[in-house]
């Protein structure tokens, strides 16, 4: 079975990449090119990180990345955990990056590397094995630095409402109550009576869509990762025009902080909360947003019986979270961790959600 490699470039490395692709394939490798595919100016991090993630996930074993000098690509690739990208400029550095550093990405500068030299560097880099021994010990030390840095966190925001008797609930829905019950030998045992949509919760597709998946079938990968908090201070509902003013390029998880956060913890229900509109939901789907959280108990307006925003988002496979408390959370990117109760065949579930600064 052929070893699978990934290649990428920006516009400055495009020519060198195109020249080397057939050469690499002639050496017996299976090649995946993830762009760019012409010489129109592009921002290199998009392609570099996509290539690095192919390797980090195991889809490809190694990769070769091309840009102008190679400096920026090496910096970007090495931000991805598990990547050891080596910027090389001659045969010696290419060979040593494999023998001593076990590099899994070779970075070449299209402006500074001639075609014949690049061929020999690639051939050496692909054929040189990692020597192990003392170098393996040093690579393990590098990996330990990476592990420790991944555990270094800044501030943590718990954006989950506290579930308690008498808390805010949707009109007509089950109110939260706690009851103490007797149990031999146990000091305290509490029975909970609440809705699956109490407090901070996830709406499963089955909540609105006939035959839709239940909450226990939501992919956890959608519920964890980089998310963006955007603040909206307007008084109208959030539609396409309002969203177009927000920095949503590349955002897949979005949390909307509105004036709702000022009264999310009040016990009296307010019908005039800020919600999303149907054309706003369609815009988010177009932008590739697959997780949307709002700071009140519904993402739709109060007086709907059709729930168009729910339908648009859930039909597109997006996750809806309602009732997050974003008071005190600044506009920024965060690491999101959203863990709903694993309730079988239910249309929703309370969730504990935290944001951690990157």
60 is catalytic: no
How far apart, in whole angstroms, are the C-alpha atoms of residue 206 and residue 342? 15
Contact 124, 296 (CB under 8 A): no
How wide is the angle at C-alpha 202 spanned by C-alphas 198 and 204, nearest 5°?
115
Residues 6 or more apart in contact with residue 186 via CB below 8 angstroms: none
Residues in the chain: 358
Instruction: Tell me the sheet residues that pair with 108.
Output: 66
Catalytic residue among 11, 60, 88, 100: 100
Tokens of 254: 């979005």
67 is catalytic: yes
- Which residue has 């009040």 as its token pair? 266
How far apart, in whole angstroms, are the C-alpha atoms of residue 156 and residue 220? 20
Q: Is the peptide bond before 36 cis (omega within 30 degrees of 0)?
A: yes
How far apart, in whole angstroms, are the C-alpha atoms of residue 351 and residue 215? 11
Contact 357, 332 (CB under 8 A): yes
b/e per residue, 32-67, with b = 16+ CB within 10 A? ebbbbeeeeebebebbbbebbbbbbeeebebbbbbb
Q: Between the CA atoms of 241, 246, 249 and 252, what dihedral angle is there, to the nearest 10 degrees?
A: -100
Catalytic residue among 60, 67, 230, 338: 67
- Helix or strand run (H / E) with residue 247: none
Residues designated catalytic = 67, 100
């Amino acid at each position: 079975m052929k070893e699978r490699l990934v290649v990428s470039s920006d516009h400055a490395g495009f020519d060198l990449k195109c020249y080397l692709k057939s050469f690499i394939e002639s050496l017996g490798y299976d090649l995946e090119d993830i762009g760019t595919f012409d010489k129109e100016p592009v921002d290199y991090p998009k392609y570099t990180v996509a290539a690095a993630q192919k390797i980090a996930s195991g889809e490809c074993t190694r990769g070769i990345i091309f840009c102008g000098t190679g400096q920026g690509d090496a910096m970007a690739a090495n931000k991805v955990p598990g990547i050891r990208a080596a910027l090389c400029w001659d045969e010696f550095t290419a060979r040593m990056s494999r023998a001593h550093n076990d590099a899994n990405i070779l970075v070449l500068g299209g402006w500074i590397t001639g075609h014949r030299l690049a061929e020999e560097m690639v051939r050496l880099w692909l054929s040189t094995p990692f020597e192990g021994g003392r170098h393996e010990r040093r690579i393990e030390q590098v990996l330990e630095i990476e592990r420790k840095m991944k555990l270094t966190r800044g501030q943590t925001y718990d954006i989950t409402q506290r579930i308690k008797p008498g808390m805010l609930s949707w009109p007509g829905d089950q109110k939260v109550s706690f009851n103490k019950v007797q149990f031999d030998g146990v000091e305290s045992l509490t029975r909970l009576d609440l809705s699956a949509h109490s407090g901070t919760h996830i709406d499963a597709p089955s909540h609105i869509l006939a035959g839709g998946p239940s909450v226990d079938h939501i992919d956890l990968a959608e519920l964890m990762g980089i998310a963006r908090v955007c603040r909206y201070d307007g008084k109208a509902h959030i539609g396409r025009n309002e969203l177009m003013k927000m920095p949503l390029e590349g955002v897949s998880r979005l949390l909307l902080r509105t004036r709702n956060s000022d009264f999310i913890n009040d016990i009296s229900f307010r019908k005039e909360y800020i919600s999303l509109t149907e054309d706003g939901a369609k815009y988010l789907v177009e932008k590739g947003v697959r997780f949307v959280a709002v700071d009140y108990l519904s993402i739709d307006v109060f007086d709907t019986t059709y729930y168009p925003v729910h339908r648009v988002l859930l039909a597109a496979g997006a996750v809806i979270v309602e009732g997050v408390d974003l008071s005190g959370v600044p506009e920024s990117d965060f690491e999101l961790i959203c863990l709903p109760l694993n309730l079988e065949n239910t249309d929703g579930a309370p969730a504990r959600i935290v944001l951690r600064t990157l």
